[in-house]
A = this chain, B = another copy of it.
């Protein structure tokens, strides 16, 4: 298999609290800042910037104050001028773009690892924007090998980088990590530990890569986002009339086939999956998606083949 030489990764950022009530990421960043105070530059083998993305939302333990910040990093929002009426999160997105970007420029930081939690049973899911970022896919392959406590999966939101709206899209090789299930406003030690290990392994990979190690290529299984499905709702009041069916709940990334149960109405009727094409549901019953009118997403499994990689020599 061909060996691809890639530019070195000089600098990475670990961001938590982009959603203020997703607590594992908040405490991973806090712990890394404690380690930095204790050990200084020796804390990690590569330079790492830590960022608490939305400090006001963290303080109030809410997803956001005025606007979901992780939808504010598209080119349009970042290029619009800040005015007196700009929401807090738009201002903060501009600040973070100045700190870690500017998005799309050569000055942008090499890699952002943005830490998220979900109420869905997603294990550890790495989300990013393309099927051809060898760095991110190699990090994922590395996590799949080293992290054995939970399934590690890759999700691809295949949109142009200018439309990409989340924090990690500011960096050259960004990805977010979703770890669940964890209720929002709660930190579970098991979920925290998995997330911390994933961050440590990411740093480890970058260090080894920068030191000249060759990483063998191969196949990486990934899921591509296809579409979202909403809850059954009362047509007038828009209130839910059903919950996720117990046979679907907690079964993120299973294969959903025609006739499989989707919802159980509050009066006891089952709503079934009616489409011909079997697909994989994920973000099943994520708390933050009720207001976005999303019960779950559907995706399609695909196999990506990645080349062996090594850092370019100077």
Contacts and interface: CB of A to CB of B under 8 A. Distances in A.
Assembly stoichiometry (copies): 2
A43 interface: no
A159 B79 CA distance: 59
Interface string A171-200: 000000000010111111110110010000
Contacts of A291: 61
Interface stretch (A81-89, A210-218, A237-245): A237-245
Contacts of A287: 183-186
A87 to B, nearest CB: 17
Contacts of A267: 31, 34-35
Contact of A266 (B27, B181, B184, B264): B27
Given A183-B183, A183-B287, A287-B183, A243 B30 contact: no
A240 B119 CA distance: 21
Nearest to A182: B183
B190 A246 contact: yes
A290 interface: yes
In this complex, the interface size class of chain A, counting residues with CB under 8 Å from chain B, is: 35 or more
B246 A290 contact: no
Contacts of A239: 30
A249 interface: yes
A285 interface: yes
Interface in A234-264: 239-240, 243-246, 249, 264
B249 A189 contact: yes
Given A184-B184, A267-B31, A290 B240 contact: no
Contact of A184 (B35, B183, B244): B183
A187 B284 CA distance: 12
A188 B27 contact: no
A243 B192 contact: yes
A288 B185 CA distance: 8
A56 to B, nearest CB: 15
Interface string A122-154: 000000000000000000000000000000000
12 contacts: A27-B240, A27-B243, A30-B266, A34-B266, A35-B267, A183-B184, A183-B186, A184-B184, A190-B246, A190-B249, A192-B243, A192-B266
